[in-house]
Amino acid sequence: MHELLDAAAEVFATHGYAKASTNAIAAAAGASPGTLYQFFRGKQEIAEALMARYVERLDAAHGAAFVVDGAVLPLADLLDRVLDPIIAFDRANPGFHTLLADPGITPELAQAKRPAQDLIFKRLDGIFADRAPHLPADERRLTAAVAIHMFRGLLPMIMAASERELPTVTREAKQALHAYLAVALKES
């Protein structure tokens, strides 16, 4: 089953969710379509299982990044600590980025990606609560949501960057987030 999920990640990353097929996934795994259907009823179920696997890995990969004393780290260091593991995870798992960003997914698959989105949001909101206790909760949550959407907007550029370009693109993304968060969190 792991081989099928690995193959699905590759096929989704290459072709997108809408253009991926169970036959392409089976072929990429070196399995027959019949073998695939022993484990999954269809493409959506494969994507849901893959998203569940990503959520587990995301939790493990990002856990250390979000266990920081966000109240005392300089904002630039905080962004390094949080974004570097996220960028590394997304670049190592391009199928995750594809599933997270694909607007053509079904409502059921959109629900399957909610745990990943909620995990990042809750952790970021927790850091902001420690860092800016003066902000009302609704303003703090809005700041977390805007920061996440800013990062998502920059993520296609980060994902497309060559290894040579990546440090520069990452630096620019961090600078944009720093400029927004310094104002939103009312830092000097």
What confidence tens digit (pLDDT) does each residue in 54-66 have? 888 877 777 666 6
The domain over range 44-184 is classified in CATH as 1.10.357:
yes
Output 96 or 180, whichever has higher pLDDT: 180
Q: What is the pTM of this model?
A: 0.82
80: pLDDT confidence band, cut at 50, 70 and 90? very high
Q: How far apart are alpha carbons 86 and 71 in whole angstroms? A: 20
Is the distance from CB of 62 to CB of 89 less than 8 angstroms?
yes
* Alpha helices, H only, 68-165: 75-92, 94-101, 107-131, 137-160
